[in-house]
Structure 1
């Protein structure tokens, strides 16, 4: 199990949401003591999250091929050139491997673009623009995907992804989500081809549920074909 000193590092990115809410806000760790973790004011799409002492929050930190989730309580505020929130040190940290999500091998077209992180967790992204690169999936799960690209992206780079899956009525549904590259391997014998492992970060639970349902339907279809063949 990762230690708190490894997990909670200065400037490490963290996602946070209020207990019972679905949307995660982005923040970063600015100070760590024996009593608290100090973070920047969390933000999401230009909106800031206001927290009060006693608020109960859920948080997650991504590392390589796993995410670590925990609960914490807001202890108060601290002014250190900028406003910081103090969170209690979590007593129970759970490791969630990306492969804990059921995964299915499937090739789907994907459009992606690299996001640039600026300042206090703000990203410069023209999500509606046309500067997207083409890729395709090798597999997909509710936690992320393996995809093949023609450019060598860096591990930890943030991406904006768009792809389509079908729902129960076989209608196309577009999924738009932000993700982070957690693995990169050049494909042997493949000229200018790299395999990326990416973990979803900014994705609504509704969209994640749609992906999970899609994966299970495809698994059932595959198993039915195996039985019939």
Structure 2
């Protein structure tokens, strides 16, 4: 079996031939872990590994969408009963993005389940305003009033989701190319 050579922080993962390792893959939106052995590797024309047939294959839980760290301006408005009313707009920034939602860095702490109207200005896509729901809240430093608020998009159309996913893959490719130069 041939796979793309794994990368870490823009550099190829170095593994000696014959080494046994664990891998993950996604097939039909289901994630799997497996064990295999590195048989060979090549860099040109594409960096690949040749691996033995996987074994000890196990289904695992995984996020539905790939995430990438990307700081983008975001405006947030809390909604109540699907009405925005006169709620103040809060400016913040994303910590990371995915096709299913964003993680926002803000000084405002919301509760899990709160409904928000989130406006993100995506490069090459434009401004998207989406009904969202808070699914995770973290306070990374207890002595600071700063929160990481994970929100999932509730009503994103598939064209917009596809454009976000394309942007993420483009940014990942740019990061890998920078790391290999």
Counterpart of 1:104 (choices 68, 72, 90) is: 68
Q: How far does residue 147 in structure 1 lie from its aligned partner after superposition?
A: 1.0
Counterpart CA distance in 1 for 2:62 and 2:150 is 10
SS across alignment from 1:107:
coil
Counterpart of 1:183 (choices 117, 136, 154) is: 136
Counterpart of 2:83 (choices 105, 124, 133) is: 124
Counterpart CA distance in 2 for 1:149 and 1:178 is 18
| Aligned position for 2:118 | 161
Which structure has more strand as a fraction of its residues? 1
Contact 1:176–1:203, Cα closer than 8 Å, also in 2: no
| Aligned position for 2:163 | 210
Give the CA RMSD over aligned residues: 1.9
Instruction: Compute the TM-score of the two structures, normalised by the length of structure 1.
Output: 0.49
Counterpart CA distance in 2 for 1:156 and 1:130 is 17
Counterpart of 1:114 (choices 70, 74, 78) is: 78
* Matched pairs, number: 121
Give per-residue Cα distances to partners, 1:167-221, cap 9 Å, x unaligned: 2xxxx51111111000111121562111111111121212111111111111111
Q: Which has the higher contact order (CA 8 A, sep 6+)?
A: 2
Instruction: Compute the TM-score of the two structures, normalised by the length of structure 2.
Output: 0.62
Rg comparison, structure with higher value? 2
Structure 2, unmatched stretches of 5+, are 1-60
Counterpart CA distance in 2 for 1:100 and 1:205 is 14
Where does structure 1 differ by over 3 angstroms across 4 or more consecutive aligned residues? none
1:192 maps to 2:156: no
